[in-house]
Structure 1
Amino acid sequence: MLSNRPDIVSGGDALVQVIAPADVEASALRVSVDGRDVTSDFATRSDGRFYGLVTGLKVGANSVRADVAGKDAAVLTVTNFPIGGPVISGAQVKPWTCATKVAAPTATNPDLGEPLDEQCNIAAPVYRYQYRTLGGAFAVYNPDTPPAAGAIATITTDAGTTVPYIVRIERGVVNRGKYDLAYLAHPDDPKKEWRPWEASPSWNHKLFWKFGSGCEYGRAQVNPGSVLDDNALRRGFMVGSSELTQYGSHCNDVTSAETVIMLKEYITEKYGEIRYTMSDGGSGGAHQQNLHSANYPGLLQGIMPTQTFQDTWSVGREFADCGLLKRFYDVQDASAPGSYGQSDRTAISGHRYNQVCEGPANTNMASRTPFYMDPEIGAQGCGGQPGTWSLTNLGGIRCTLQDFNIAIFGPRDATGYARSPHDNTGVQYGLVGLNTGKVSAEKFVTLNEQVGGYDINGKWQPSRMVADPGAVEITHRSGRVAHARNLGNVAILDRRDFNIIEEHYDFRTWVIRNRLLKEFGDYGNQVIWRYKSNPPNLADRAFETMNQWLANVEADKSNKPLRAKILAAKPAAAVDSCWRADQGVWSTDATYCNVGADPSATSAVTGVGLDTLNTPTLDEWPVYRDTRVAAGEGLTSDIMKCQLKPMVRSDYLVSFTPLQWSRLQAVFPGGVCDYAKPGVAQEAPEPWQTFNGGPGGKPLGQVPVSARAL
């Protein structure tokens, strides 16, 4: 199989290669599918290989057989799934509204026609065109009435081919979602199609995927993100995007990975084999890149996250924490204004200051907490709709992260509500601040007494949160917390803007760094570029660095393990750096840039007393922490539910009064988090999980191979 794993083919097609014994002529080969002769679809191609596009595969198992009269035969079982999915993601969310018919088409929103079925499938993809003007902008191109050739820019790809800068954009539907594929049009004719063994010279056989930000629960088709990426297109890359890889409309990383898998197969079968795949995307786009690299190794070769979130669920713990902390402070302020000052809140949260958790910054975690936990609040066709869950409509659509991912977590009980892995049992909020003298014993005890938790409906409760049975196991075992075992086999270039004031703060990049360090003893495959103001040509510099990095890996034909190749292949620019805007240069001084695995949080301070505030100078690059690290967890920040240990006074570097100690024991009757141990059910997930057999996930196992026919 050249286009995908044989056990997860979709759409009824498969690009298949036959390798015959040395003494067998290709003309003697016969290929069949379930007894149907498909030999005419095969030929020895210009690269000397014998392969072809098998079509008409039925849904389910198909027996592909290659043989020569009087010789042994080989059989490969190919399992085909519908082009509308699912392939690995399990039961699809419903309802789902198709939007293929566009009443008023535009250059960016073409009409795909009426849907053929409830999967939103269409009769055929549609195409639109853009060209690059001499002034460096994209403009609509009509192949029937094109502009003068002299008005169109020309470009030389990284394969050395010079072509007119005309972009052909295909829009279709795969896995119920609209997708766009953009590429330099065939130089002979912009409308010309090509076959996988006769690709246009304008394509370098590389793919660049655009992952989108946000985290919402859409149940209707929307448009994919923009694929007009000049950095990729002018080098000859194909650029892809799907609405299902836009977290702002579809916050399910398994469906996102499934969509990339299906579209990479489609590209291979229609356009040709892909040499390697690069990707970018910020915030929710970073979630996806980290999770896909961790759980579906080989899907992406080089990732370029921005505004990094390490994954979705270990981050989700902190959104819950911040909602709880804000509520606690609001209650305190109502009864004892100013009792918890800025310095207290900073030490308790681990951040630069309370704004990161509480606001008033627009992008703070507490303001977003209900969007992930409250079933009555949501966006993108969920919250506010007539069918939304409420206390008077208990069977309605539940707008929570876990309910949108119920195919992964499964129902908790007869209510049908999805299991939740949220848990803060044993978490001692502000423990590090207490032991460093920044939070008083009384404030520490009061906070942990009153912080509470959320119930399954996102409503505050005085007791702590307890994960639903099986939910934590699923979160770790299925890979919803990005594990470094496979992240170590992908090239990572993180463009890390200096952010210490809101939810996209810096430390999340260092969480990935520490997960790599824990797994491999180094983090050599991750490069961090820090900057306080945008360096010139940042995106182009990053793209070229990653492209060269992967080209170097591709050129390494040695028997070294993939990770060793990645570490050895780094180009000169692939080094931890920070942009010195005052000097107009990139500094590679690791100490100055503060890029170690345990970066300093020290900076200049302004204010006095409870109002002190970390205020970094131009030459200071502090990295703060998160709420769980501030509660004593390690820098990998990856425990969904901690193991507990008895409370002992020697763990605290302060003295509690007998009453305070008694109150603290009442808060933690089962003990407190023991961060010297792994979390509950914390284990490395097996890769390539499928949820088609039901919630919880099951690894696909080894890629199926052909066997001698009996």
Structure 2
Amino acid sequence: MRQAVGRRHGAVWAAMSLAAALLAGCGGGSGGLTAAPGGGSPAPVVPNPGPGPSAPEVSLAGLKFWVGEQGPSGETAFSGPQQQPFLCLTSLSNLGEPIVDNQDGIGQPVYQVPGNTASPLLGYSKRCGVKTQVRYFYYTGSDFAAFDPATQFVTPPANLQRVRINGADLPFVVRVEAGTINRFSYSVAMLAPFAESTATPKDLDNSVWNQKMVYWMRGGVGVGHQQGKAMWFGGLWGEEKPVMPRLLEQGYAVVSSSGNETGVHYNVRLAEETAVMVKEHFVQTYGKPKYTVAMGISGGAVQQYLFAQNRPKGLFDAGVPIQSYPDMVTQAIYVSDCSLLEQYFKDEVALNAGSMWATWTNRTLVEGLSTSATKTNKFLGGAGSSECIEGWGTAAPGVINPVFTDPAYQATANALGWPTAFTNVKWTHWNDLANIYGTDARGYAPIPVDNVGVQYGLKALKDGFITADEFLRINACAGSWKEQDEYLTWLMPPADPFDSRNMRRSADCRTGAGTPAPRRSGSLKAMNIAYTAGQVFTGKSLDIPLIDLRPWKEDQLDMHNSRQSFSERARLAAGGGNQANQVIWFTGETSTTGVATRAMDALSILDAYLTTGTRPARFTDQCFTNAGQTIAAGSQVWNGILDNRPAGACTQSYKVYSSPRMVAGDSFRGDMFKCALKPVATALADGTYGATDPFSTAEKTWLNKVFAAGVCDYSKPDVGRPAGV
């Protein structure tokens, strides 16, 4: 994984990671603020309708175009108002400067000398469009390099690899079409081992295309306001380099768009529309493929689950989600707890060096996530850290803090000649999707982050690993996040590693005589809209086969924690979706080459499934060793995770962790935005704290003080979920 704008295949959540890659030209995104010309303050907007009969369909107009022509990139009824400011990164994709499309001050200024504000201003680009172009690349054995078909078919480069097609040994040359659709940079890559004309699509030699398509989607977590980079013209990521040659040598067409990179944006509705448009352009240009299989890592996997739910049948026919999450917004439920808890542990250790929290592995008791006694801590230094820090430590400032802007974003805007671009941007995930969530009169989108009634460490208390006194201190001192208009910019580590200046805390929370830190009640409107706008995977629908592939990285404290695959399965079970369409593979192969090998194995099984219409025997739950050998396969291998049966062979081989909310009593689904509450007296009487009451009389008084509004009743539905969804 690399630090790039919206860091690639992992939901990096950090604005600093997102912006760092902006300068490298690798991230960022779109959403939907309605802005004044030139990037002024956004006006309040009403949310777009979500999926359903009343929602407008994706427009397919203007998608038949070719070299020298532009793809459609105007505002649509489906995704709503286009976000401004919006950085055009076509130059960083090696596609050239964006085309001027207005003289009204809307969008990125385009200068005669790119980025030089002293040169004549040519106009503005609000659509970031470029003319479509075709280039060729050849495979060197480790990467792809530019190829000149006019000369190098005759005099090939010394390191040009060969590929065996239908018994013939051919030069490994790839044709890539690239341009813009829906304001994002797209690409279409196909093996092209023969000299050909590109005058029209009919002149292309597609004789080695196997008539099948792979739609590749990238990961990361972006908070918008940029276009992202095209694959191929803008380069390949490390994990793509071992996959692309294998796909292409088998004859697959590989299609992608920066609009389907979640490091660019996390507006699933906009991403869905973009995928529909890009695929339709492919169909109109090259012909309808026999089938389309989606592939992608992290956010690229999230899109597969959500597109399968929101657009059943027709867009993708199958998928290989790698290191998946069910969706982005329900990750924020537990990730928002991480810094609150780590700040508490930091304070406790500072007050008492002998605190149990000085032993890093003890933190799993309350955080649920993996910890390590030996890993060097990226925030605090020294030995010992947690997934909460290594994986999610920048989540709160990167996704929740509206005023934190990494300098790299501004540096990019400066380099593009647009120094005032980000003056009024509110850097949150929900403001990035303001055309879905709406905004208040001050321009803030509502956010669903809520921890009222959450009893952190409840399972540890019941199991006897922490005392009642420690349980009460955690819950009295954990606090919550402030409201959006109260935020200050993040003082990056080591100054304020967990963004504590933006927490609601209490200086005297550690005894029953003190004042508990307040909790935060999230916006029911935001929760409702997240569901109705298709941003949450509910498990009600999964009409295509998916092989959910996960390299096990818990010992690395990687954010792609292992329980996510089972959260998806639990949601399918609760929602009535087709559980038989999801199989789960874990592997100890964590190298990019190892994961690529397993992904191609999964693709071969899906190919057989789609070609024959018959479910292959290997389309089943499996787990593999570090060397790629099968440990076990079959419907029983994951027993003991979502049921009380004896642990299956894969369950025994790979430890599955949980989350702060799950050890507080929530289910494995991990989709409870806001719990229903019950009185403390009811909890004391109904066994919430175990068969034996762990509290003294004084501690019960303290418990009632901490949870004056009541505690979570996880036996009841999510208060934030609309009826019937």
Which residue does 1:689 correspond to in 2? none
Residues in 2 aligned to 1:684 and 1:276: alpha-carbon distance in whole angstroms: 36
- Normalising to structure 2: TM-score of the pair? 0.71
Does 1:238 find its partner at 2:253?
yes
**Does the Cα contact within 8 Å between 2:319 and 2:544 map onto a contact in 1?**
no
Q: CA deviation at 1:374?
A: 0.9
Matched, 1:130 2:128: no
Answer yes or no: is the 8 Å Cα contact 1:163–1:202 preserved in 2.
no
Residues 1:212 and 1:455: Cα distance change in structure 2 (over 3 Å): same
> Which stretches in structure 2 are left out of the alignment for 5+ residues?
1-54, 103-124, 380-384, 415-420, 488-501, 505-516
Aligned to 1:598: 642
Q: TM-score, normalised by structure 1?
A: 0.73
Deviation at 1:434, TM superposition (A): 1.3
The answer for unaligned runs of 5 or more in structure 1 is 16-52, 57-80, 103-107, 388-392, 557-568, 604-616, 687-710
1:413-444, Cα deviation, whole Å (9 max, x unpaired) = 32110010111111111111111112211111
Shift of 1:452: 1.1
Q: How many residues align?
A: 580
CA deviation after TM superposition for structure 1 residue 668, in Å: 2.0
Aligned to 2:632: 588
Which position in structure 1 is the counterpart of 2:525? 470
8 Å CA contact 1:194–1:200 kept in 2: the answer is no
How far is the alpha carbon of 1:331 from its aligned partner? 2.2
Aligned to 1:172: 179
The whole-number CA distance in structure 2 between the counterparts of 1:224 and 1:101 is: 10
Which of residues 489, 492, 500 in structure 1 aligns to 2:544?
489
Q: Which amino acid in 2 is paired with 1:639?
A: M
d(CA) in 2 for partners of 1:621 and 1:353? Answer: 15
Aligned match of 1:460? 503
Q: 1:94 aligns with which of 77, 84, 88?
A: 84
The code of the aligned residue for 1:446 comes to R
Q: Which amino acid is the alignment partner of residue 448 of structure 1?
A: N
Q: Post-superposition shift, 1:268? A: 1.4
Aligned equivalent of 1:74: none
Equivalent position SS for 1:486: coil
Selected match of 1:144 from 138, 141, 150: 150
Aligned mates of 1:548, 1:194 — CA distance in 2: 31
Return the letter of the residue paired with 1:203: W
Corresponding position: 1:656 with 2:695: yes
**Closer, same or farther in 2 for the Cα pair 1:92/1:399, shift >3 Å?**
same
Provide the secondary structure at the position in 2 that maps to 1:305.
strand
Amino acid at match of 2:136: Y
Identity of aligned residues (%): 27
* AA aligned opposite 1:449: A
Matched, 1:571 2:626: no
Instruction: Check conservation: 2:320, 2:602, Cα contact below 8 A.
Output: no
1:674 has 2:710 as partner: no
SS at match of 1:365: coil
Give the Cα separation in 2 of the matches to 1:83 and 1:274: 24
Partner SS, residue 397 of structure 2: helix
Change (3 A) 1:354 1:460: farther
The 1:268–1:521 alpha-carbon spacing in structure 2 relative to 1, beyond 3 Å, is: closer
Distance 1:215 1:379, change over 3 A: farther
Match of 2:321 in 1: 305
- Residue aligned with 1:131, SS: strand
Q: Determine whether 1:9 maps to 2:62.
A: no
Which secondary structure state, in structure 2, belongs to the residue aligned with residue 128 of structure 1?
Answer: strand
- Following the alignment from structure 1 to structure 2, what is the Cα–Cα distance between the partners of residues 305 and 685? 28
Q: 1:236 to 1:590 in 2, by over 3 A?
A: closer
1:282 is matched with 297
The alpha-carbon deviation at position 123 of structure 1 amounts to 5.7
| Residue in structure 2 matched with residue 415 of structure 1 by the alignment | 442
- The 1:378–1:274 alpha-carbon spacing in structure 2 relative to 1, beyond 3 Å, is farther
Q: Name the counterpart of 1:352.
A: 370
Opposite residue 408 of structure 1, the aligned amino acid is I
Aligned-pair CA distance for 1:109 = 2.3
Structure 1 position 372, deviation (Å):
1.0
Relative to structure 1, the CA distance from residue 513 to residue 423 in structure 2 (aligned partners, 3 Å threshold; closer, same or farther) is same
Cα gap change, 1:410 to 1:374, in 2 (>3 Å): same
Write the distance in 1 (CA, Å) between the matches of 2:663 and 2:608: 41
SS of 1:485 mapped into structure 2: coil
Partner of 2:212: 206
Cross-structure match for 2:666: 633
AA aligned to 1:631 is A
DSSP 3-state at the match of 2:615: coil
Contact 1:643 1:675 in 2 (8 A): yes
Q: Do residues 272 (structure 1) and 322 (structure 2) align?
A: no
Deviations 1:108-157 (A, max 9, x none): 72436644453435463011101345x57634221211234887655466
Contact map agreement 1:302 1:546 (CA 8 A) in 2: no
2:490 aligned residue: none
Following superposition, the deviation at residue 407 of structure 1 comes to 1.3
Distance in structure 1 (CA, Å) of the matches to 2:639 and 2:526: 35
Q: 1:235 to 1:570 in 2, by over 3 A?
A: same
Alpha-carbon separation, structure 1, partners of 2:200 and 2:723:
44
Matching of residue 375 in structure 1 with residue 402 in structure 2: yes
State the Cα distance separating 1:538 from its structure 2 match: 4.5
Partner Cα separation in structure 1 for residue 168 and residue 279 of structure 2: 24
1:437 paired residue among 458, 464, 487: 464
Distance 1:84 1:199 in 2: 32
- How many Å separate the matches in 1 of 2:299 and 2:452? 27
State the secondary structure of the residue aligned to 1:8: coil
- The answer as to whether partners of 1:128 and 1:168 remain within 8 angstroms in 2 is yes
- SS of residue paired to 1:505: coil
**CA displacement 1:608-649 (0-9 Å, x = unmatched):** xxxxxxxxx997422111111111011111111111222221
Q: What aligned pairs does 1:481-520 form with structure 2 within 5 A after superposition?
A: 481-500=536-555, 501-520=557-576
Q: Distance in 2 between matches of 1:484 and 1:550?
A: 24
CA contact (8 A) 1:640 1:680 kept: yes
Aligned to 1:36: none
Give the deviation of 1:395 after TM superposition: 7.3
Task: Kindly provide the CA deviation profile for residues 585-620 of structure 1, in whole angstroms up to 9, marking residues without a partner as x.
Answer: 2121569964654289999xxxxxxxxxxxxx9974
1:552 paired residue number? 609
Indicate the SS of the match to 1:324: helix
Shift in CA distance, 483/434, structure 1 to aligned 2, threshold 3 Å: same
Q: Secondary structure at the match of 1:677?
A: coil
Cα distance change, pair 538–327 in 1 and its aligned pair in 2 (3 A): closer
Are residues 685 and 394 of structure 1, via their aligned partners in 2, closer, same or farther at CA, if it must alter by over 3 Å? farther
Structure 2 residue aligned with 1:248, among 253, 260, 263?
A: 263
Distance change in 2, residues 1:326/1:306 (3 Å): same
Change (3 A) 1:208 1:521: closer
Matches within 5 A, 1:388-399: 396-399=424-427
Describe the SS at the equivalent of 1:588.
strand
Moved more, 648-657 or 592-601: 592-601
Q: What is aligned with 2:351? A: 335
Cross-structure match for 2:491: none
3-state secondary structure, aligned to 1:495: strand
Letter in 2 for 1:243: S
Asked whether the equivalents of residues 377 and 399 of structure 1 are also in contact (C-alpha less than 8 Å), the reply is yes
CA 1:176–1:589: 2 relative to 1, 3 Å: closer
Q: Which AA in structure 2 matches 1:91?
A: P
Contact 1:10 1:83 in 2 (8 A): no
Letter of the aligned partner of 1:303 in structure 2?
G
Conservation of the 8 A alpha-carbon contact between 1:112 and 1:172:
no
Between the aligned partners of 1:182 and 1:99, the Cα distance in structure 2 is 20
The higher-RCO structure (CA 8 Å, 6+ apart) is 2
8 Å Cα contact 2:550/2:562 also seen in 1: no
> Secondary structure of the residue that 1:415 maps to in structure 2?
coil
Residue-by-residue CA offset, 1:663-705 (whole Å, 9 max, x unaligned): 212222222211112101425887xxxxxxxxxxxxxxxxxxx
CA distance in structure 1 between the partners assigned to 2:275 and 2:401 by the alignment: 30
The 1-side partners of 2:604 and 2:590 are apart by: 21
Q: Which segment drifts farther, 419-428 or 288-297?
A: 288-297
- Please state whether the residue corresponding to 2:87 is helix, strand or coil: coil
**1-structure distance, mates of 2:413, 2:98:** 27
Q: Do the aligned residues in 1 keep the contact of 2:184 with 2:227 (CA within 8 Å)?
A: yes
